[in-house]
Amino acid sequence: MNNAGPTAAPLLLPSVALALPPVTQGAARHSEPRADGGYQARQGFRVGDLALMVRYEDGSELTAMPRLVHLPNTPAWCLGMANLHGLLVPVFDLGGWVGLNTALEGSRMLLVLSHGADAAGVAIDGLPQRLRWTPDQQADASTAPARLAPHVRGAALIEGVLWFDIDRTALLDAFEASLAGLTTTGH
């Protein structure tokens, strides 16, 4: 019995599906999650007093904070390395990197950004939440902390909270550059 409706996509043989070209980054950008009615959709999380959000495809895993191995001669915002499924992932205190006091008040979680060898984790406060907003809720992103500002795509005022939309690639590159700068200056 075929339960597929008239709008169902045709099924492909695995050999045919594997022969299709891969989805490009441009195509992935055009498939950015949008909810009904032109809403934008993001994954929101808190780091201290900051309300931040990333695209759903930017986050690859959420887990309780694992055991971390501290790396010598690294700044306090570099929390260490975590073994996640056999992959060593650097873990950062984004709030500390920005210059905020991120004293732990609640349960800390690890949000892993990116995938595979490019993955890095950021410590977040509590669980992330789903966010939706319309273009008329876009806000001025210029109030982002100075060190974070170059890595902010935009901002939205959602239910009275200003959420900064983070560019994952730019942020992870900045973490890497900050650590590389420390090694070249001898700190």
Q: Name the 3-class secondary structure at 12.
A: coil
pLDDT band at 29 (very low <50, low <70, confident <90, very high): very low
Query: Does a structural domain hold residue 7?
Result: no
Query: Does a structural domain hold residue 5?
Result: no
d(CA 170, CA 93): 16
Give yes or no for residue 82 having a pLDDT over 90: yes
pTM of the shown model: 0.75
Tokens of 29: 């950008």
Query: Does a structural domain hold residue 25?
Result: no
Tokens of 47: 């780091």
Closest by CA to 91, choosing from 115, 118, 64, 111, is 111
Query: Does a structural domain hold residue 18?
Result: no
Task: Tell me the average pLDDT across 143-160.
Answer: 95
Task: Tell me the average pLDDT across 48-77.
Answer: 93
Least confident of 27-36, 108-117, 143-152: 27-36
Tokens of 69: 């191995």
What are the tens digits of pLDDT across the range 154-175? 999 999 999 999 999 999 999 9
pLDDT of residue 39: 86
d(CA 126, CA 135): 27
Task: Tell me the average pLDDT across 10-14.
Answer: 64
Give yes or no for residue 112 having a pLDDT over 80: yes
Q: How many CB atoms lie within 10 A of CB 148?
A: 22
Query: Does a structural domain hold residue 132?
Result: yes
Q: How many CB atoms lie within 10 A of CB 90?
A: 20
Domain range spanning residue 158? 40-185
Query: Does a structural domain hold residue 4?
Result: no
Closest by CA to 50, choosing from 170, 132, 145, 122, is 145
DSSP secondary structure of 69-128: BPPTT--TTEEEEEEETTEEEEEE-HHHHHT------S-EEEEEES-GGG-EEEEEEEEE
- Residue 83 in contact with residue 66, Cβ under 8 Å? yes
d(CA 165, CA 34): 15
Domain count, the chain: 1
pLDDT of residue 17: 59
CATH number at residue 174: 2.40.50.180
- Residue 31 in contact with residue 108, Cβ under 8 Å? no
Query: Does a structural domain hold residue 10?
Result: no
Query: Does a structural domain hold residue 88?
Result: yes
Give yes or no for residue 98 having a pLDDT over 60: yes
